[in-house]
Amino acid sequence: MSRDSGRFWRALSSLRDSTGNRKNVASEGPSIGMSQALKKTIGHRGIDPTGETVYKKTTSSTLRAAIQLGITHTVGSLNQKAERDVLLQDFEVVESIFFPSEGSNLTPGHHYGDFRFKTYAPIAFRYFREMFGIRPDDYMYSLCNEPLIELSNSGASGSLFYVSRDDEFIIKTVQHKEAEFLQKLLPGYFMNLNQNKRTLLPKFYGLYCVQAAGKNIRIVVMNNLLPSAVRMHLKYDLKGSTYKRRASPKEREKAVPTFKDLDFMQDMPEGLILEGDKYNAVCKTIQRDCLLLQSFKIMDYSLLVGVHNIDQASREQDTEGDVDQTRPQVQKSLYSTAIEAIQAESGGVEPVDQ
Amino acid sequence: MSRDSGRFWRALSSLRDSTGNRKNVASEGPSIGMSQALKKTIGHRGIDPTGETVYKKTTSSTLRAAIQLGITHTVGSLNQKAERDVLLQDFEVVESIFFPSEGSNLTPGHHYGDFRFKTYAPIAFRYFREMFGIRPDDYMYSLCNEPLIELSNSGASGSLFYVSRDDEFIIKTVQHKEAEFLQKLLPGYFMNLNQNKRTLLPKFYGLYCVQAAGKNIRIVVMNNLLPSAVRMHLKYDLKGSTYKRRASPKEREKAVPTFKDLDFMQDMPEGLILEGDKYNAVCKTIQRDCLLLQSFKIMDYSLLVGVHNIDQASREQDTEGDVDQTRPQVQKSLYSTAIEAIQAESGGVEPVDQ
């Protein structure tokens, strides 16, 4: 197995537990502090003297601006191209556009350094977005017309994470090898989408590269696995392993911790009860997803299970009233765990159960 | 362009002309004689002293038996495997089974020499057959439980052609390079089927190899482009070229000749009249098919247009009555031209307008 194929992917199964799960869940606490919480440099990610996050020497604000300028341009120019079928060659295409700070015929001026923006497999990702029901205008609006929110507790991978304000999209920096690996997987990903419509694998919406200050910063745009629209009362990250698979004390302090296999076995000895046909559908989908991951030689993945307890939600709604609809504080808290769901571990094939 | 990519594919557009095409068509004549008509060796195909066709030293009857034993086995063993999604790797799989004449644990005895039967990309072709609505039992029955009919006037390619008795399937021998080329195209073919549902490109149902007497005989199973169920009163093979694109005097002697571009321009100066939405659908489909062929670097293809004249058909039915339902003579006559629709020219990139 190649080193880059041992990355950590999670499939999401968001289950609404209507069968009366009795577990007590700690009430939502205050959200965890943002950028200030990051004290050290991990991988390419660090903090500059002003307290701003930097990634490969580019400040987070510059990177966000470049991403927004770049995606606006690439989606806009794609909109002008006629719809056509995706061809095998399209998976290997890389489009590139230069953004000088003074502007050009094709690009607007901006207040940052010159940069280049590359779009990987634009036609293929347009097709994927369409398959996922993402309209081009919505994609562009959500990512480019609203500020991107930086997520602080981004885990040990050294990646930088942003979420769109509407909570739909996650942007994540990926390493060269990861981007290359994802690009190589695209034909198989295409095949899976066409056959396994209920797939629980991450939804990839775009793969881009910002070339700034002589460095390549590759980013992937994905679905937010646990958007705030549905509050999850319980979360489990399941690997099918029992080796060190218990949530850390630090994780347990969170408002809604992400528990692990040993916690699940202890708290839910009978598992989750699903209706027969739903159970069969979920199992079949997971089997198909696992077969695909296996064919990609990916073995280090887990299933993220979110449980929305309907009884509890209705009690919460009674006490919280309308606040429940917007609650920005709770959103941040949700991000703080959901983010783990899509992160690539910095290690390769080593166990990641630390 | 590689030599093997210049092969001759045809897309079929079978149009029913309900707009009152006035052309007179020669009435159906007697069918053209079968095997005896072949006098010389072309490519790998020849005639042995008894008058039987041989291909790479294997007699046609032996080849037919091997094909039927092989397909029975491969479809049967595939039926026992659970349905699962096609993976990218499946396009490269080759399954092989040995058929000793005395039989084995896995294979029945037979009266021919030992042979080996190879199935290319079995899971992928199972998926294609399913997409095309071909049930495994029907596939096996049509090809293996009824005699395969050898077609005599197989053109200049040196290929051997069989048709299933129910007129659904064509089996054609292909050269090593062609088989390799087809296998390489399978991922793109998969992608086209999933996007371009109305595609008029040939339907590939299976790719196999019979290893007999130290020789490899590769065959492809395809749809019959002009099955006899609908009588075509006019046929045109259109390339979009006017260079030597007129049906030969010999072709014109046939009951229903396949005319070419110059004939079409002369006989139908206004073209074929289609309803607006049908016209748009056909044009769009042809554009998408051509884009795919272009991406495969195939440029030497043509569109086979069959015209079924409803008025003429109803007149024919009045005079022929029930005979029209079975008419084996007419069937043979139809094969005699339909066959050209799927043949690979023996040359590579050379013009095939001779």
At A297, which CATH number? 3.30.810
Instruction: Give the N- to C-terminal CA distance of chain A in Å, as an integer.
Output: 21
Residue in this structure with the two tokens 């347990």, named with its chain if needed: A252
Q: Can you give the pLDDT at residue A46?
A: 81
Q: Is-contact B304 B236, C-beta < 8 A? A: yes
Check whether residue B292 and residue B212 sit in a common domain. no
- CB contacts of A86 in chain B (<8 Å) are 191, 195
Write down the catalytic residue from A172, A235, A260, A332.
A172
Say if the Cβ atoms of A87 and B295 lie within 8 Å.
yes
* d(C-alpha B207, C-alpha B220), whole Å: 4
Q: What is the mean pLDDT of residues B131-152?
A: 92
Q: Residue A239: which domain range?
A: 3-33+227-342
Q: Residue B269: is it exposed, middle or buried by C-beta count within 10 angstroms (0-12/13-18/19+)? A: exposed
| In the predicted structure, residue B341 carries a pLDDT above the cut 80 | no
Q: Can you give the pLDDT at residue B40?
A: 62
Identity of residue B354: Q
Closest CA to A294 of A46, A1, A91, A37: A1
- CB contacts of A187 in chain B (<8 Å) are 88, 187, 191
Say if the Cβ atoms of A85 and B187 lie within 8 Å.
no
- CB contacts of B192 in chain A (<8 Å) are 85
- CB contacts of B196 in chain A (<8 Å) are 85
| In the predicted structure, residue A271 carries a pLDDT above the cut 80 | yes
| In the predicted structure, residue B15 carries a pLDDT above the cut 50 | no
Say if the Cβ atoms of B191 and A87 lie within 8 Å.
yes
Q: What is the mean pLDDT of residues B320-344?
A: 39
| In the predicted structure, residue B19 carries a pLDDT above the cut 60 | no
pLDDT bin (cut points 50, 70, 90) of residue B288 is: very high
Q: Residue A258: is it exposed, middle or buried by C-beta count within 10 angstroms (0-12/13-18/19+)? A: buried
Q: Residue B295: is it exposed, middle or buried by C-beta count within 10 angstroms (0-12/13-18/19+)? A: middle
Q: Is-contact A302 A342, C-beta < 8 A? A: no
Q: Can you give the pLDDT at residue A104?
A: 95
pLDDT bin (cut points 50, 70, 90) of residue A22 is: very low
Q: Can you give the pLDDT at residue B333?
A: 33
| In the predicted structure, residue B13 carries a pLDDT above the cut 50 | no
Listed residues A163, A191, A223: the one ending a domain? A223
* d(C-alpha B213, C-alpha B95), whole Å: 19
Of A85, A191, A192, the CB nearest to B196: A85
Say if the Cβ atoms of A288 and B192 lie within 8 Å.
no
Q: Is-contact B306 B14, C-beta < 8 A? A: yes
* d(C-alpha B130, C-alpha B84), whole Å: 12
Instruction: Tally the domains of chain A.
Output: 2
Q: Is-contact B127 B134, C-beta < 8 A? A: no
pLDDT bin (cut points 50, 70, 90) of residue B151 is: confident
CA dihedral for A174, A180, A186, A192, sign (positive or negative): negative
Check whether residue B107 and residue B28 sit in a common domain. no
The pairing of strands B10-17 and B302-309 is parallel
| In the predicted structure, residue B328 carries a pLDDT above the cut 70 | no
pLDDT bin (cut points 50, 70, 90) of residue B213 is: confident
* d(C-alpha A71, C-alpha A66), whole Å: 8
Write down the catalytic residue from A237, A289, A300, A332.
A300
DSSP-derived letter for residue B335 is: H
A90 is known as an active-site residue:
no
* d(C-alpha B147, C-alpha B177), whole Å: 29
Check whether residue A264 and residue A212 sit in a common domain. no
- CB contacts of B86 in chain A (<8 Å) are 191, 195
Residues above pLDDT 70, as percent of chain A: 78
Nearest residue in chain B measured CA to CA from A185: B88
Q: Helix, strand, or coil here: A84? A: coil
Closest CA to A279 of A37, A62, A19, A84: A19
Of B86, B188, B196, the CB nearest to A88: B188
Check whether residue A296 and residue A210 sit in a common domain. no
Say if the Cβ atoms of A85 and B188 lie within 8 Å.
no
* d(C-alpha A141, C-alpha A123), whole Å: 19
- In order of A119, A165, A184, B15, the CA distances from A218 in angstroms are 10, 21, 15, 50
Q: Helix, strand, or coil here: A320? A: helix
Of B86, B192, B295, the CB nearest to A195: B86
Sheet containing A53-55, strands listed edge to edge, beginning at the edge strand earlier in sequence: A45-47, A53-55, A58-59
Let me know how long chain B is: 354
pLDDT bin (cut points 50, 70, 90) of residue B141 is: very high
Q: Residue B8: is it exposed, middle or buried by C-beta count within 10 angstroms (0-12/13-18/19+)? A: buried
DSSP-derived letter for residue B3 is: G
Check whether residue A113 and residue A87 sit in a common domain. yes
Q: In this structure, what CATH number is given to the domain that contains residue B164?
A: 3.30.800.10
Say if the Cβ atoms of A85 and B195 lie within 8 Å.
yes
Closest CA to A4 of A302, A288, A345: A345
Question: Token digits for A192?
Answer: 């899976």
Residues above pLDDT 90, as percent of chain B: 58
Question: Token digits for A1?
Answer: 């197995």
Nearest residue in chain B measured CA to CA from A194: B194
Check whether residue A70 and residue A186 sit in a common domain. yes
Q: What Rg value do the Cα atoms of chain B yield, rounded?
A: 20
Q: Can you give the pLDDT at residue A155?
A: 60
* d(C-alpha A267, C-alpha A258), whole Å: 13
ipTM above 0.85, yes or no: no
* d(C-alpha B234, C-alpha B254), whole Å: 12
Check whether residue B149 and residue B29 sit in a common domain. no
Q: Is residue B350 part of a domain?
A: no
Phi, psi angles (nearest 5°) of residue B66: -65, -40
* d(C-alpha B9, C-alpha B222), whole Å: 12
CA dihedral for A202, A208, A212, A217, sign (positive or negative): positive
Q: Is residue B169 part of a domain?
A: yes
CA dihedral for A16, A22, A28, A29, sign (positive or negative): negative
pLDDT bin (cut points 50, 70, 90) of residue B323 is: very low
Of B85, B195, B291, the CB nearest to A195: B85
Phi, psi angles (nearest 5°) of residue A247: -60, 140
Write down the catalytic residue from B56, B261, B300, B332.
B300
Q: What is the mean pLDDT of residues B279-289?
A: 93
Output the average pLDDT for chain B: 80
Q: Is residue A350 part of a domain?
A: no
Q: Helix, strand, or coil here: B31? A: coil
At A49-80, the pLDDT tens digits run 887 888 888 888 899 999 999 999 999 999 99
Higher pLDDT, A119 or A337: A119
Say if the Cβ atoms of A87 and B288 lie within 8 Å.
no
Instruction: Give the N- to C-terminal CA distance of chain B in Å, as an integer.
Output: 22
Listed residues B223, B257, B274: the one ending a domain? B223
Residues 6+ apart with CB under 8 A from A9: A201, A202, A293, A298, A301, A342, A344
Residues 6+ apart with CB under 8 A from B248: none
Q: What is the mean pLDDT of residues A13-24?
A: 38
- CB contacts of A88 in chain B (<8 Å) are 187-188, 191, 295
Q: Is residue A349 part of a domain?
A: no
Q: Can you give the pLDDT at residue A342?
A: 33
In chain A, which residues touch B (CB < 8 A)? 84-89, 127, 187-188, 190-192, 194-196, 288, 291-292, 295
| In the predicted structure, residue A119 carries a pLDDT above the cut 70 | yes
Q: Is residue B354 part of a domain?
A: no
Identity of residue A106: L
At A243-269, the pLDDT tens digits run 999 999 999 998 899 999 999 999 999
| In the predicted structure, residue B284 carries a pLDDT above the cut 90 | yes
Nearest residue in chain B measured CA to CA from A199: B85
Phi, psi angles (nearest 5°) of residue B48: -90, 175
Q: Can you give the pLDDT at residue B147?
A: 92
Q: What is the mean pLDDT of residues B241-259?
A: 92
Q: Is residue B347 part of a domain?
A: no
B239 is known as an active-site residue:
no
| In the predicted structure, residue B215 carries a pLDDT above the cut 80 | yes
Closest CA to B285 of A88, A126, A129, A84: A84
- In order of A61, A235, B241, the CA distances from A65 in angstroms are 6, 33, 52
* d(C-alpha B122, C-alpha B237), whole Å: 32
Phi-psi region of A321 (alpha: psi -120 to 50; beta: other; left: phi over 0): left
| In the predicted structure, residue A44 carries a pLDDT above the cut 60 | yes
DSSP-derived letter for residue A31 is: P
Q: Is residue A348 part of a domain?
A: no
- CB contacts of A184 in chain B (<8 Å) are none
Nearest residue in chain A measured CA to CA from B187: A88
Q: Is residue A308 part of a domain?
A: yes
Say if the Cβ atoms of A85 and B291 lie within 8 Å.
yes
Q: What is the mean pLDDT of residues A32-42?
A: 46
Listed residues A208, A223, A238: the one ending a domain? A223
Check whether residue B99 and residue B163 sit in a common domain. yes
- CB contacts of A194 in chain B (<8 Å) are 194
Say if the Cβ atoms of A295 and B188 lie within 8 Å.
no
CA dihedral for A220, A223, A226, A231, sign (positive or negative): positive
At A125-178, the pLDDT tens digits run 999 999 999 999 999 999 999 999 988 765 667 788 999 999 999 999 999 999
* d(C-alpha A340, C-alpha A345), whole Å: 10
Say if the Cβ atoms of A88 and B192 lie within 8 Å.
no
Check whether residue B161 and residue B304 sit in a common domain. no
At A198-224, the pLDDT tens digits run 999 999 999 999 999 889 999 999 999
Residue in this structure with the two tokens 């997987």, named with its chain if needed: A185
Check whether residue A121 and residue A270 sit in a common domain. no
- In order of A97, A322, B162, the CA distances from B225 in angstroms are 46, 64, 13
Q: Is-contact A132 A223, C-beta < 8 A? A: yes
pLDDT bin (cut points 50, 70, 90) of residue A329 is: very low
Check whether residue A63 and residue A12 sit in a common domain. no
| In the predicted structure, residue B247 carries a pLDDT above the cut 90 | yes
Check whether residue A51 and residue A159 sit in a common domain. yes
For chains A and B, CB pairs below 8 A equal 49
* d(C-alpha B16, C-alpha B305), whole Å: 10
